[in-house]
Each structure stands twice: as C-alpha cells, then as structure tokens.
Amino acid sequence: MALLRDATTVMWKDLKVSLRANRGIGGVLYLAFWALLFGAGLPLLMGETWLTSPEVLFVWAWLPLYVVTPMLGGAFAGERELHTLETLLATPLSNQAILWGKIAAGAAYGWAYALASIVLGPFVIALATGSPLRLYRPPVAVGGPVVGLMGAVAGASLGVLISLRAGTNREAQDGISLALMAFTIPIAAVRAGLQALDVPVADVLLAINGWLLDLVLIAALGVVSFVAVRIARARFVRTRLLLD
C-alpha cells in the first residue's frame, strides 16, 4: 500500500513537471502536434485501413513513445543534471517507489496519446470520407487500449532504464531514440519485405486470428517491460547512483 502511494506521489510530480514544461504557446503547440498526428494525421494517412487492419495495433504500441522520450530522458539523467536527484534520494522513498512512479508517469503520458488516437480515429475517418461512423473490429477495439498501455509501459521501462545509466538528459534521449529505432526497424523491414513481394501487410495480419495477435503483442511487450524493469531494479543502487 505504501509502495503504491509513494509511486503515485512520484508519478504526480513527474507529470506535473512535464506538463509545466509544456506551458506557453510552444508547449501547447508541441502537445497539439502529437495529438493531431496520432488522432487525425495517421488515420487520414491510412484511410479505411485504419479501421479494418490490425496494423493500427503497432501504431498504438510504438508511436506514442516518441512523445514520451523527453520525459523519460529526464527520469533520472534529467534529475541528475538539474541537481534534484540527490535530494530525492535523501528521502525515505523506496527504490521501487521511485522506479515505478517514473515508469507510471511515462506510461500514463504515452497511453493518453494512444487512447486519443484510438478514440479520435473513427470520427476523423467518418468526417473525411463523409461516410457513417464505423468502429474497429472487436479484437482491435478491445486489444487496442491494452496494447497501447503495454507499449507505453514497455517504452517507459526501457526509457527509465536508459535514463538511469545516462549522464545527461541529452545522452538519455539519444539512447532512447536508438532503442526505439531498434524496435521500429525490424517492423519496418518486414513491412518493406512484404511490399516488395507485393503482399499487402493487412492481408497477412488479417490471416492471423485477431485475438491471438492481441495476445502475442501484449506478451511481447510484457516481456520487454519485465526485462527492462528487472535490469533497472538491479542497477538502482542508491549508494552508487550519485557516483554514476
């Protein structure tokens, strides 16, 4: 119970710091850009496929993480750079509460974008095509929010792990970008390969049972999260954190 409460406290602070960083015209435009990109831009780009293809699951799993990158970079490296880490470590907060609070903050932020995209997509398509409102197929409608959440958790866990090891915010963000590319490139390569063979990606995915695809994606993201959190917990040694 204390862990949950403390992690929530850390999450509250991290979200507040991030949202405060995006105040003013520049900050609002930054948030609006990503919201429009995920909520309107991508659905318009994919058209009807947005509603019919399970490909959108991959979008909701990965793309919101690009928004969270600056926040995750600040998880530890930013605190170290701004000289707030030592004071935070001088409190009775447990290592786990700090770790989970930071992961939760990043995940909540990223998931909010995924949810925005899930909810707005059908309305944007309907408006753009002038057709009646259509919803996602059941495995996508049910699996989408969960995949989005798991993607956000996995990205946040990886981000926090990288931030823990990084000396500066910039170094952390570079590492996070590389990690995201390491996940994105294989998917893009498979996609390009299928296109080269003239096989539509949507057909391949539609041939797989939708519920099974949900489970596979959720499990894969779960494994990534689990491994990242395990390593981060092992690396979070309070008496060495100030020396890193």
Partner 1 sequence: MAEQQDAIRTYGLGRRFGDLTAVDNLNLTVPRGTIFGFLGPNGSGKTTTIRLLLGLLEPTQGRAEVLGLDVATQADAIRARTGALLEHNGLYERLSAYDNLEFYGRIWHLPKPERQARIHALLDHMGLWERRDDRVATWSRGMRQKLAVARAMLHHPPLIILDEPTAGLDPVAAAALREDIASLVAREGTTVFLNTHNLAEAEKLCDAVGVIRYGRLLAVDSPAGLRTRRGSPQIEVVATGITPPVLDVLRARPEVHAVTLENGGRLALDVAPDTDTGALVSLMVAQGVQIEEVRRGASSLESVFLKLMAEAEGDGAAA
Residues interacting with partner 1, by CB under 8 A? 2, 5-6, 9, 12-13, 16-17, 20-21, 82-84, 86-94, 238-239, 242-243
Cβ closest to partner 1, residue 9 vs residue 177: 9
- Nearest distance, CB of residue 200 and partner 1, angstroms: 47
How are the residues of the chain apportioned to helix, strand and coil, as percentages rounded to the nearest 5? 85, 0, 15
Q: How far apart are CA 241 and CA 165, in angstroms?
A: 9
Two structure tokens written together for 29: 């435009």
CB within 8 Å of 11: residues ≥ 6 apart: 101, 102, 104, 105, 108
Q: How far apart are CA 28 and CA 22, in angstroms?
A: 6
* CB neighbour burial string for 47-62, b if at least 16 within 10 angstroms, e if fewer: eeebbbbbbbbbbbbb
Tell me the residue type at 122: P
- Nearest distance, CB of residue 161 and partner 1, angstroms: 21
Cβ closest to partner 1, residue 21 vs residue 133: 21
- Nearest distance, CB of residue 38 and partner 1, angstroms: 25
Cβ closest to partner 1, residue 79 vs residue 214: 79
Cβ closest to partner 1, residue 9 vs residue 52: 9
Two structure tokens written together for 162: 């990288």
- Nearest distance, CB of residue 238 and partner 1, angstroms: 7
Tell me the residue type at 51: L
- Nearest distance, CB of residue 67 and partner 1, angstroms: 18
Cβ closest to partner 1, residue 16 vs residue 170: 16
Q: Which of 123, 136, 151 is nearest to 54 (CA)?
A: 136
- Nearest distance, CB of residue 229 and partner 1, angstroms: 21
How big is the chain, counted in residues? 244
Cβ closest to partner 1, residue 130 vs residue 239: 239
